[in-house]
Amino acid sequence: MIRWSVRSPKARALARWLAALTLACCGPATAASCNLSVGSLNFGSFVGTQTSTSSSASFTCTNVNPALLPERVDFEIRLSTGAGTYAQRQMNRTATPADTLQYNLYLNFLPAVLNTNVWGDGSGTTVRWTGRMNLSPGQPSRTETATLVGAIPSGPAPSAGSYQDTVVVTVLIL
């Protein structure tokens, strides 16, 4: 418990303003449970020509407290750079000798010019997956879908072997 001792008129006005700000800043508690599912990408063998692959992504939110319906869920899904940068992500060879393979990730489509409209965190020219779901008594669960597209640009073939990268996904409920 926090106790405030306010004696001056200015301090009382500040205390009222802080209390109002606290109430205004914090929206109602969410009653949704959300889950993100993204399949893995497998580029297959790379022989030097541009190659791409895709995987489905789904984001599902379900209301877990019917007393709080209807409920609106605004979300934003961001991807990290992995081992590279947003300008060019990088997979690393899993064995010796060390080698790298450049690639990038895109939201919903492969752009005509690679490394534009990169799925990232919204910084620079990167894009994020954003959306809104309205949960209601008649529809307490909703799913939004997107496509994760990966592309390796044309270039010299690296050393044979397996390559991988780890990209962190951040889901924000706004």
The one-letter amino acid at 168: V
How does pLDDT run across 91-124, given as a tens digit for each residue? 999 999 999 999 999 999 999 999 999 999 999 9
The one-letter amino acid at 166: T
Contact 142, 35 (CB under 8 A): no
The structure's pTM equals 0.80
List b or e across 49-74, with b for residues whose CB sees 16 or more CB atoms inside 10 angstroms: eebbbbeebebbbbbeeeeebebebe
Q: How far apart are CA 130 and CA 122, in angstroms?
A: 10
- Please provide the DSSP assignment of the chain as one string: -------SHHHHHHHHHHHHHHHHHS-PPP-EEEEEEE---------SS-EEEEEEEEEEEEES-GGG-SEEEEEEEEE--TTS-SSSEEEEESSSSP-EEEEEEEESS--SSTTSSBBSSSSTT-B-EEEEEEEBTTB-EEEEEEEEEEEE-S-----SS-EE----EEEEE-
How does pLDDT run across 1-46, given as a tens digit for each residue? 333 233 434 333 333 433 333 333 344 456 799 999 999 999 999 9
What pLDDT, on a 0 to 100 scale, did the predictor assign at position 29? 53
How does pLDDT run across 134-150, given as a tens digit for each residue? 999 999 999 999 999 99
Domains with residue ranges and CATH for the chain: 28-173 (2.60.40.1090)
